[in-house]
Amino acid sequence: MTGTPTVTDWGTTEEERDFPVKVVIKDETGTPIAEKEITIKVQRDTDGDQDPDVTDPDDDNDGYTDDQEKTANTDPKDPNSKPTAAVGDIDNKTVIEKQPIEAIDVPVTNVPSKGSVEVTGLPDGLTYDPATGKITGTPTVTDWGTTEEERDFPVKVVIKDETGTPIAEKEITIKVQRDTDGDQDPDV
């Protein structure tokens, strides 16, 4: 038996189908002398990547896992049906220079499985850790103006898809207050 199986009427969530096949052996006169029924299982491969849907974590190859799509109520078999990525609410923050900050949560939802979250514009000394989803550190400013007592840093949070294209973003402000004498009481 050879060939390429094709199924054109897959059910919405169907990932494999059994086809019973009767194999008949005939003698030279065409009389059946033995027969056996076997089952051929055809597995669906929605995106054609040669990884059947039963084991493929992203059936439609849209960058979102099937689990992400089920949670978001989108169709894991349709590459045009995707969860909407979003950056959640983040309040603007005021921090004191040279003092460790309370971690700032960066809530994001529906980041594509091969996508990324980038946080730019942070003051020196602060970093974003994508594994924890938090901004942490101790802010430093080394170029204060003579009378400058605080500085606003516009910080952008961007969710990018697997190609690096931004698909969601939000901007917040982190205000760093100067503490010339380091007494944890800002100059303002």
Instruction: Write down the pTM of the prediction.
Output: 0.78
Quote the mean pLDDT of the chain.
96
Specify the CATH number for the domain of residue 123: 2.60.40.10
Quick check: is 186 in a domain? no
Asked if the structure places residue 130 within a domain, the reply is yes
Judge if 120 and 163 occupy the same domain: yes
Pair 90, 142 in one domain: yes
Does 7 reside within a domain?
no
Q: What is the pLDDT of residues 171-182, one digit of tens each?
A: 999 999 999 998
Percent of the chain with pLDDT over 90: 96
- Collapsing DSSP to helix, strand or coil, 34 comes out as strand
Same domain for 43 and 125, yes or no, is no
Does 182 reside within a domain? no
Rounded mean pLDDT, 146-160: 98
Give CA–CA dist 182/178, Å, rounded. 9
Kindly state whether residues 57 and 31 are assigned to the same domain: yes
pLDDT tens string 66-97: 999 999 999 999 999 999 999 999 999 999 99
Residue 2 included in any domain: no
Tell me the residue range of the domain where 99 lies: 86-177
- State how far the Cα of 22 lies from the Cα of 39, in Å rounded to an integer: 9
Segment 92-111, tens digit of pLDDT: 999 999 999 999 999 999 99
Q: Is residue 78 part of a domain?
A: no
What pLDDT sits at residue 27? Answer: 96
Tokens of 176: 């760093």
Same domain assignment for residues 118 and 162: yes
Residue pLDDT, tens place only, 24-70: 999 999 999 999 999 999 999 999 999 999 999 999 999 999 999 99
Query: What stretch of H or E contains 71?
Result: helix 66-71
Domain check: are 142 and 167 in the same one?
yes
Per cent of the chain over pLDDT 70 is 100
The structural domain count of the chain equals: 2
Residue 148 lies in a domain: yes
Claim to verify: residue 67 and residue 142 sit in the same structural domain? no
Whether residues 121 and 149 fall in one domain: yes
